[in-house]
Amino acid sequence: MKISKRLAGWVEASARTCMAHWLLIVGSLLVFASVTLKWMYFAFSRHPSGIELPLLRKMELVPHFSVLSYGVVGIAVLVIALVLLWRSATYLALCAVTVLVAMWLAVPCRLAFSQPSLLRRLTTETRELSVIRDFTKTYLPTDFGPTEKYNRFDIENLWDRFLAGCSFLGLGWYCFGAGSLLIGIYVTARLRPEERISAPVLAAIPTGVVIITLVPALIGQYYFNAACVAQAEGAKKEAITCYRRAMWFDRWRAEDVNAYAAIGELETLSVSSNDSPEKHISKAREFNEASEYDLAIFELARAAEWGGPAGLVARRESARTRVEYGIALYRGGGIGAAVTQWQQALVEDPLQHHAVGFFVARGNYDIGRYEAALGAINDVLNRTDDRPTRANAYSIAGDCYVKLGHDAEARNSYNHSLKEQMLVNFWAMSRLTGN
């Protein structure tokens, strides 16, 4: 009887506590849970969680645990806020919660305005989905693949870039923001009247984060628009100047091959005798449009020799051109030459490994390099979360093991393929059934 009364007392006390502090409890649980959830979704690459998304440095090809990640720093700030609340330092606790809100807003702002390479990689991987799906349906045996709708992003202005960046944010980011806002509401309600008057001043922290990341991009967008207008009016020198200023202020423009190609075209039209990497990039664009890939790669190599930002852009564009060239060679039966182009593309731009590695694996299989194909497959499996790609990779691995006479490993690979994709995976299913 005493135990039941004591248990009833504990339940009643717990219920009163939950009713009084439910905003704090739910918000804290959301913030803690967000650390293990995915914050950003890629088409091919592994999706980073809260403890894998760096707060300061750039994210690597394969996400790893980072001490200064959004999740780790967020938990540290939340613990500080809870300690301050326990010690009745409510206003200081609200300051800590405001930092959480600022971190939450920083993710889409950094993605859209201060980390152009990451946003470009996200949008490029999404475009490559259709390429690799078409490749598998055309050149791989009895693989129907999934029926998907591919997103197309217009990222020429700041608002479109922001919307594109937000579209890749995952459940972890939403949980982190919802939890931070719930805790903020709870802490604000506990402030004394004199503290509530000065509380809106703390909004300067998240506002400052947005301004710091947005202003350079706004200036860059202004000069880019001015460059387009000047180019349309035939003011070549003014257009070149505005393009270069846009690239100086906005890192997105500094990594945009279209801007370099536009400058190169303007320099050519102005009959300038000086050589420049922009001229080579513009000429490479013309060769690429004419499907003269080897000449385009040659011009991009000459641009890359200049080094600097233009050289990096030229190398990335050369890698993309080599991928197109390899697919064209593969379709024409030049499989060995296609593999060579794809392997060189990986050297010039390792970030393409998620998709190009799959092409390399298939090409090596077709020319009998089964061990090399298995090595490429392992790299693909270590880097991608895309289930159809993983299923097809396991099927290629199974085919390689069959050729090598390793029947047990082949069956295991086909079983893994079916686990990744069951309903439309006739490739692995036919191999396992002997058809």
**40 forms bridges with which residues in the sheet?**
169
Most confident residue range from 6-10, 253-257, 389-393: 253-257
- How many whole angstroms separate alpha carbon 51 and alpha carbon 265? 45
SS3 of residue 40 by DSSP: strand
* Cβ partners under 8 Å of residue 202, min gap 6: 94, 95, 98
Encode pLDDT of 347-360 as tens digits: 888 777 667 888 89
Whether 207 has a pLDDT exceeding 80, the answer reads yes
Question: What is the reported pLDDT for 70?
Answer: 93
- pTM of the prediction? 0.85
Residue whose C-alpha is closest to residue 104's, from 183, 44, 161: 183
Q: Average of pLDDT values for 363-367?
A: 91
Q: DSSP alpha helices (H): ranges in 151-235?
A: 158-167, 171-189, 193-198, 204-232
Q: Average of pLDDT values for 404-412?
A: 89
Find the farthest-apart pair of alpha carbons in the chain and give their distance in angstroms, rounded. Answer: 99
Write phi, then psi, for 65 (nearest 5 degrees): -60, 135
Helix 387-404 / helix 370-383 crossing angle, nearest 10 deg: 160
Domains of the chain: 1-137+158-213 (no CATH), 349-435 (1.25.40.10)
Q: Average of pLDDT values for 151-169?
A: 83
Whether 140 has a pLDDT exceeding 80, the answer reads no
Token pair recorded at residue 249:
């202020």
Residue whose C-alpha is closest to residue 73's, from 57, 92, 54: 54
DSSP assignment string, 84-95: HHHTT-HHHHHH
SS3 of residue 35 by DSSP: coil
* Amino acid at residue number 271: V
Answer with the residue of higher pLDDT: 429 or 310: 310
Question: What is the reported pLDDT for 234?
Answer: 87
Question: What is the reported pLDDT for 22?
Answer: 82
Question: What is the reported pLDDT for 292?
Answer: 93
Q: Average of pLDDT values for 122-146?
A: 72
Q: What is the number of helices (H) and of strands (E) in the chain? A: 20, 0
Q: Average of pLDDT values for 16-42?
A: 85
**133 forms bridges with which residues in the sheet?**
none
SS3 of residue 45 by DSSP: strand
Residue whose C-alpha is closest to residue 125's, from 164, 180, 79: 164
- How many whole angstroms separate alpha carbon 175 and alpha carbon 8? 33
- How many whole angstroms separate alpha carbon 333 and alpha carbon 366? 10
Encode pLDDT of 265-293 as tens digits: 998 888 766 888 999 999 999 999 999 99
SS3 of residue 169 by DSSP: strand
